[in-house]
Each structure stands twice: as structure tokens, then as C-alpha cells.
Amino acid sequence: MKFIVQGGKKLKGEITLGGAKNAATKMLVASLLTSEPMVLRNTPNIGDVAITQELCELVGSSITRNKNIVTIHTPEIKNTRVISLSRKNRIPVLALGPLLARTGEAEIPLLGGDKIGPRPIDMHLEALKEMGATIEKRESSYYAHAKNGLRGVKIQLRYPSVGATENTILAATLARGRTVIENAATEPEIIDLIKMLQNMGAIIELGANRAIYIDGVKTLRGVEHTILPDRNEAASFACLAVASRGDVFVRNAQQDHLITFLNALRKVGGEYKVENTGIRFWKEKNLQSIELETDTHPGFMTDWQQPFALLLTQAKGSSILHETVYEDRFGHVADLNAMGADIRVFSKCLGEINCRFNGKNHGHSILVNGPTALRGTTLTIKDLRAGMAHLIATLIADGESTIENIEELDRGYENIDTRLQNLGADITRSI
């Protein structure tokens, strides 16, 4: 499917955030930890949630959806081998923890790399092995078993990986004894997952210096949980409002999830006002260049980088954006340049810090010279967040654009075309 976009409209009005993709998918998987029904409110109706539902159904869950309320019930684990999924994302690896914890066995498909780098899962596997699992890599799967159950241990993550932290937390909730995760990731989506698990009966403490302590319990119960709003959508819509010289109220945007983003936006010259029910974004003055690097929370998130790179094409001067989380996340640059942007990719670390990719020949820093006018073109989306940069670019460009492979955007943004049409965007979905 594709979008046909007529660019150059100022976007104005109000848009409401959906529930966070990167919490909803983990919570569905976490529901496998209990035999009781779970109700997830504010579950976005997006591709990644559909893929995760398929995974849970394969395991034995019954799932119903009423608007954005999803009920999921897994009275028994009927199948621990979830290798026959029709579509793939990164979520199946997270099923290892709950399946091992509940049945002592799991098999998941090999995930492989994707458009943003090799994305290894070594830290997930090492943590589960330290907890007592044996994991075998097979031709197209990982097979894991823990005949004597999982036990709590001290896990030192060499990088605060979101997924490895979540997998270890899920596995540890039902393990014997205490698990300590050092150098854990602390993203708001993880805190929301912890809140849900705590209500389910888990004992999880947050310590200083990125430590998380989990005391295993025997069983967990079903609860109702409302998923936090998607801060990646919030950042995308903020960039769209400012880049289009528009004025958009993002309902449910939460300041405490966006503090670093709001600082960067202010430095570049974007305006915002935090209100009780959301944040309004607009632009009055010209945008100016900045230097910035992505980081794990509470730093500037890697998923904000792509729409922000697009925003920097409209800022006066030379901006630096240094990606320190993924080694290969500038796939959108060539397309933006084809539309008229002036962006150069460097393999050295631009800016003030040297990151772990220094000297490894990954194109992970960019220099953006602006402002540059953008013209409409035909683009193909390769990755979800890069796709958002494409979409914003076409919305502010002169003339008509065609965006192919919008299924990637549908993985993470619910009804994005209709919601943007409500802001005045001229965007049509077609086959």
C-alpha cells in the first residue's frame, strides 16, 4: 500500500496519542505469566500488536478486542514452540522469559538483523542462561529449557538494553529467589511494565544507579492496566507541527516522558506549552542548528532521531546528530537528500563524546546543513521511524509525493492517515 501526499499545508488542530507500542507488545507477552484474564486498556490497533497477539494465540491465549480494550486470557500454556509466526518482529524473544518461567521450555524463531542494524540478542540469552536455562541455537530457532526452573541471580548488563532488561524482569518474576539487574534500562515503557507486574503480585524494586531487584513469587494474578501514552508518537507529532510551521495540541503527551525532547526542541527554536491534558507545539521564530546525541533513557531517544533529523533540515546552520544506540539508523538520509536536504553521514563520532561505535566504521553521525527547501518525490519506507521522517518530509515538501510500503508505518502508528487528515494534511491511502 502507499500514501499519496500533497505537501505544503500548515498542520493545525488536535491529535490524541495512542497507547505506547513498545509497552503494549511487552504487556501482552507479560500476560502469559498468569493463568488469569488480563485487561489492557489503551492498546493501540497497530501491526506490531497484531503480530504479538498471533504469538500469544499460538501459545494458547484467547484474545478479544473492544475498541482499544484488549482482554487476554491464557489459562494454560498449550504450546511453548512459537516458531510458525506468519509475520515477524522483535517481540518473540521476549516470550522466552515467561515461557521458561511458566513451563520450563520455549522455542522461538531466529530473529536476524533488520533495517537498523544486526540487533543481536546475546544479552537476553546470557541473562536467561545465568538464571539456569540451557539455550540451543537450531537451524531456524532458539530452543531453551530449564528443567529445574529458573533461579534468581545477579545480572550485569554490559549496555542498558531495553529488551534484555524486560526479558530478565519477566523471567525473574516467577524465578526462585532474588534477581538483581545491574545497568538496567529504565525507559518509561519499562516502568509502566513494572507497575503492571507489581499489581499482578510481583515484587520489583527500583534501586539507585540503574539497579532493579526482583524477588520471585509463586504465581501472578490477572489485572486491568491502562497502557501509557506513546511518547514516540508525541515526538513525531511535535516535529511535524514545528516543521510545517503549524500549531498542534498533542492530547495526552506527558512532560515527564519528554523532558529531553522538549529541551532539544526549545534549543532548535520550536515552541511548546505544557497543559493539564497534553502539550501544544508550534513555531514562531526561525529554527536554529544544534548538536545532539541519542542515548538510553533519560537521554534523547533513538526513535526521536529520524523526525528530528528532518526538522534540522529546516534549521539555519550546521547541525550534528550523533546516534549512539544503533550503529546503522540513518537509512532515511539518502531519501531526504533526494528531496533536497543537505545531510552528510560520517562514521566517526561527531560532537563531544566518543561512543561505543567509535572506530568501527558504522555511519552513525550526521551533519545537516539548512535550511533547505524539500520537493515532492517517490519514496519507499524501510523502517518504522525512518518512515515517519519520510511522511513529515513529504507533508512539508512542495508538490506531490508517493510513499510506498506504508505497512511499516502501520506497524507503529494507528490510522496515521486519518489522524493527520484531521490536522489538515492532504494524504490519501491507496493500493
What residues make contact with ligand EPU under the rule CB under 6 A?
Answer: 21-22, 25, 90, 117, 119-124, 159, 161-164, 185, 187, 301-303, 325-326, 384-385, 412
Judged by beta carbon, residue 155 or residue 374, the one nearer ligand EPU is 155
Name the grid cell of 394: 513529504
SS3 call for 248: strand
SS3 call for 316: strand
Judged by beta carbon, residue 168 or residue 289, the one nearer ligand EPU is 168
The per-residue b/e assignment along 37-73, b for 16 or more CB within 10 angstroms, e otherwise, is: bbbbebbbbbbbbebbbbbbbbbebebeeeebebbbb
Judged by beta carbon, residue 186 or residue 372, the one nearer ligand EPU is 186
* Matching residue, cell 511453548: 80
Catalytic machinery residues: 114
Smallest gap from residue 45 Cβ to ligand EPU (A): 16
* Matching residue, cell 550503529: 327
Judged by beta carbon, residue 296 or residue 401, the one nearer ligand EPU is 296
Smallest gap from residue 111 Cβ to ligand EPU (A): 9
Q: Radius of gyration over alpha carbons of the chain, in Å?
A: 22
**Do the beta carbons of residue 67 and residue 42 sit within 8 Å?**
no
Smallest gap from residue 64 Cβ to ligand EPU (A): 23
Name the grid cell of 233: 508518537
Smallest gap from residue 299 Cβ to ligand EPU (A): 10
Smallest gap from residue 80 Cβ to ligand EPU (A): 21
Judged by beta carbon, residue 75 or residue 120, the one nearer ligand EPU is 120
Smallest gap from residue 411 Cβ to ligand EPU (A): 8
Smallest gap from residue 406 Cβ to ligand EPU (A): 15
**Do the beta carbons of residue 41 and residue 69 sit within 8 Å?**
yes
* Matching residue, cell 492496566: 225
Name the grid cell of 391: 511522511
Judged by beta carbon, residue 164 or residue 333, the one nearer ligand EPU is 164
Report the residue number whose CB is nearest to ligand EPU: 163
Measure the CA dihedral 257/262/265/266, to 10°: 180
Antiparallel, parallel or unpaired: β 247-251 and 12-16: parallel
Judged by beta carbon, residue 2 or residue 411, the one nearer ligand EPU is 411
Q: Which long-range contacts (CB under 8 A, 24 or more apart) does 151-154 make?
A: 151/175, 151/176, 151/177, 152/176, 152/177, 152/178, 152/179, 152/180, 152/214, 152/215, 152/216, 153/179, 153/180, 154/179, 154/180, 154/182
Smallest gap from residue 430 Cβ to ligand EPU (A): 25
Antiparallel, parallel or unpaired: β 212-215 and 178-182: antiparallel
CA-to-CA distance for 219 and 173, rounded, in angstroms?
Answer: 9
CA-to-CA distance for 119 and 370, rounded, in angstroms?
Answer: 32
Name the grid cell of 180: 538483581
Judged by beta carbon, residue 166 or residue 247, the one nearer ligand EPU is 166
